[in-house]
Amino acid sequence: MTVLNVNGQQHRIDVDPRTPLLYVLRNELKLNAAKFGCGLGQCGACTVLVDHEPVFSCILPISVLEGRYIRTVEGLGSEGRPGPVQSAFIEEQAAQCGYCIPGMMMRAQGLLEHNASPSDAQIRDAMAPNLCRCGTQMRILRAVRRAAKAMMADAGTMQETAK
């Protein structure tokens, strides 16, 4: 039995502890966002955050994840109340088939939590592990820049409110 903290909720998982996190998210927890892309840590479709760091969930066994804070796209917001990164991607219509986008959003979320106003080169470098075959890269870059601005504005508003 492995206990996982996913999006702030504790889950008791009864599968082989060698099982990569991706399959547990998708099948045991029925969370759709993280996707199987390669199973090799080469494409980023499975990207989630573990303790604020983007990781390839397709190659990370759950045995090393007890006590860690796992976040998926489902933890960023919902269709009715999307989070800032999701809103930015929707506003920029940054998807074609959309299969890679949840991984892109988690990679972007991880970047923006570390660096609130990244340069274009920093965004490109941070997003480099993730592949998009439809060629949506230009929109994804715009969406990350838009999300950065929105999160900065939100943080500013929160500071103002605190004063």
Partner 1 sequence: MNAMPPLTRRLLLTTGGALVVSFALLPKLAALAQNVPKLPGDLDKTPMLDSWIAIDAQGRITVFAGKAELGQGIKTALIQCAAEEIEVDPAGITLITADTERTPNEGYTAGSHSMQDCGTAILNAAAQVRGILIELAATRLNLPAEQLKATQGTVVANDGRSVRYGELLTGQDLHRPAQPTSPLKDPKNFVVIGKPMQRVDIPGKLTGKPAYVQDMRPNGMLQARVVRPPSYGARLTQLDAGAVETMPGVVKVVRDGSFLAVAAQGEFQAIDAMQALSALAKWEQGPVLPEQTTIYDTIRQLPSNDTTILDKGTPGQQGAHTVRATYHRPYQLHGSIGPSCALAIFEADKLTVWTHSQGVYPLRNALADMLHMPQQQVHCIHVEGSGCYGHNAADDVAADAALIARAIPGRPIRVQWMREDEHGWEPFGPAMISEASASLDANGKLIDWQYDVWSNTHSTRPEGPAGNLLAAGYLAQPFAQPAPKPIPQPEGGGDRNAIPIYTVPNARVISHFISQMPLRVSALRALGAYHNVFSIESFMDELAHAAGADPVEFRLRHLDDSRAHDVVTMAAKEFGWQPDAKLPRGHGRGFAFARYKNLAAYCALALELEVEHETGAVKLGRIVVAVDSGQAVNHDGIRNQIEGAIVQSASWTLYEEVTFGRDGITSRDWSSFPMMRFPAAPESIEVHVIDRAGEKFLGTGEAGQGPAAAAIANAIADATGARLRELPLTAARIKAAIGI
Binding site for partner 1 (CB under 8 A): 15-16, 18-20, 23, 26-27, 30-33, 35-40, 42-43, 45, 72-74, 77-79, 82, 86, 89-90, 93, 95-102, 105, 121, 123-125, 127-141
Q: How far is the CB of 51 from partner 1 (least distance, A)?
A: 21
Q: How far is the CB of 106 from partner 1 (least distance, A)?
A: 11
Q: How far is the CB of 14 from partner 1 (least distance, A)?
A: 11
Task: Please count the residues of the chain.
Answer: 163
Closest CA to 87 of 97, 78, 74: 78
For β-strands 69-71 and 2-6, DSSP reports them as parallel
> What whole-number distance in Å separates Cα of residue 133 and Cα of residue 94?
13
Nearer to partner 1, 9 or 157 (CB): 9
Q: How far is CA 111 from CA 12, 14, 52, 80, 118, in A?
A: 29, 32, 9, 24, 8
Alpha helices in the chain (DSSP H): 21-23, 84-91, 101-114, 120-127, 137-162
Nearer to partner 1, 134 or 153 (CB): 134
Nearer to partner 1, 30 or 163 (CB): 30
Nearer to partner 1, 20 or 54 (CB): 20
Q: How far is the CB of 28 from partner 1 (least distance, A)?
A: 9
